Amino acid sequence: MLALSDKPDTRFDSVLPTLAQCQTFAVGEHVFHEGDAAAAVFEVVDGVVVLYGITLEGGRQLMGLRFPGELLGLTHRETYGWSAMAVRRATLRRIPRAVLDREIEDDPDFAKRIIAACTSELSRTRDQLMIVGCRSALGRVAALLLDIAERTADGGPSFSLPITRGEMGDYLGLTLETVSRAVSRLKALKIIALPRNDQVIVLDRGRLRDLADGIGEGASRGRMAA
């Protein structure tokens, strides 16, 4: 198996139920911008948030997606190093920095939990790096679909795509056209079905997994091992 990470529970509500303070964001609304004072950490209660950075030419690199139960805004810096925007109407629990710091001071167990959240996020980012660095377009799209499926799946093989083709491209280091072609190919291969273009049904999870892991025709990029 490829070393794609498992996902430990790092939700805040299990440790900070009383400190909850919720806030909702409309589609396209920002939770914070790159450079804003890093005044709080957030947990997604409902909806979907994307994290992204902007290159000097205006290119966008999505750093991650956040689904319910996941964290965003964790940093020790004075300001956020990236932006966070809701792509579905989202409700977030807000934990002010001061509260976070105090809690870390007072509760070693909480500190460990934060460290767990960080290293977990680190693993996820590394996996992402591995995918962007090593996989072909088809492999990358397969990996993203599988990731979303696993993080949002209510058990069934069907899920909804929270982001556009263009955003998928920004996430995977591809253009929207290439993403569209890859999705069409997966459909043609009968690995997925698309009742609507933001609705995916996984027909053959095994083959999707193989593509995401880099197995099979054209799933990998770059020189093969000797």
Partner DNA sequence: CGCCCTGTTGATCCGATTCAAAGCGGGTGG
Partner DNA sequence: CCACCCGCTTTGAATCGGATCAACAGGGCG
The site for DNA (CB under 7 A) is made up of 136-138, 161, 164-166, 169, 173-181, 183-184, 194, 196-198, 218, 221-224
Residues belonging to the chain: 226
* Contacted entry of a second copy, DNA, none for residue 125, CB cut-off 5 to 8 Å set by kind: a second copy
Question: Taking CB under 8 A as the rule, does residue 14 contact a second copy?
Answer: no
* Contacted entry of DNA, a second copy, none for residue 198, CB cut-off 5 to 8 Å set by kind: DNA
DSSP string, 66-85: E-TT-EE---SSSB-SSEEE
Residues 6 or more apart from 175 whose CB is under 8 A from it?
169
Question: Taking CB under 8 A as the rule, does residue 104 contact a second copy?
Answer: yes
Which position among 15, 99, 134, 193 is part of the footprint of a second copy (CB under 8 A)?
134
Q: At what angle do helices 108-134 and 137-152 cross, to 10 degrees?
A: 150
Residues 6 or more apart from 136 whose CB is under 8 A from it?
218, 219, 220, 221
Question: Taking CB under 8 A as the rule, does residue 98 contact a second copy?
Answer: no
Q: Which stretch binds a second copy (CB under 8 A): 2-10, 21-29, 148-156, 200-208?
A: 2-10
Question: Taking CB under 8 A as the rule, does residue 75 contact a second copy?
Answer: yes
* Contacted entry of DNA, a second copy, none for residue 84, CB cut-off 5 to 8 Å set by kind: none
Which position among 26, 27, 116, 201 is part of the footprint of a second copy (CB under 8 A)?
116
From the CB of 77, what's the least distance to a second copy, in Å? 7
Cβ contact 131:50 at 8 Å: no
Q: Which of 27, 187, 43 is nearest to 121 (CA)?
A: 43
Question: Taking CB under 8 A as the rule, does residue 133 contact a second copy?
Answer: yes
Give, as ranges, the residues between 143 and 202 that touch a second copy (CB under 8 A).
172-175
* Contacted entry of a second copy, DNA, none for residue 126, CB cut-off 5 to 8 Å set by kind: a second copy
Please give the C-alpha separations between residue 72 and each of 37, 113, 152, 183, in angstroms, as whole numbers: 14, 14, 17, 28
From the CB of 35, what's the least distance to DNA, in Å? 24
Q: Residue count at the site for a second copy (CB under 8 A)?
A: 58
From the CB of 146, what's the least distance to a second copy, in Å? 15
Which position among 15, 39, 61, 88 is part of the footprint of a second copy (CB under 8 A)?
61
The DSSP 8-state label assigned to residue 156 in this structure reads: S
Question: Taking CB under 8 A as the rule, does residue 115 contact a second copy?
Answer: yes
Integer Cα distance of 91 and 2 in angstroms: 33
Integer Cα distance of 3 and 212 in angstroms: 12
The DSSP 8-state label assigned to residue 17 in this structure reads: G
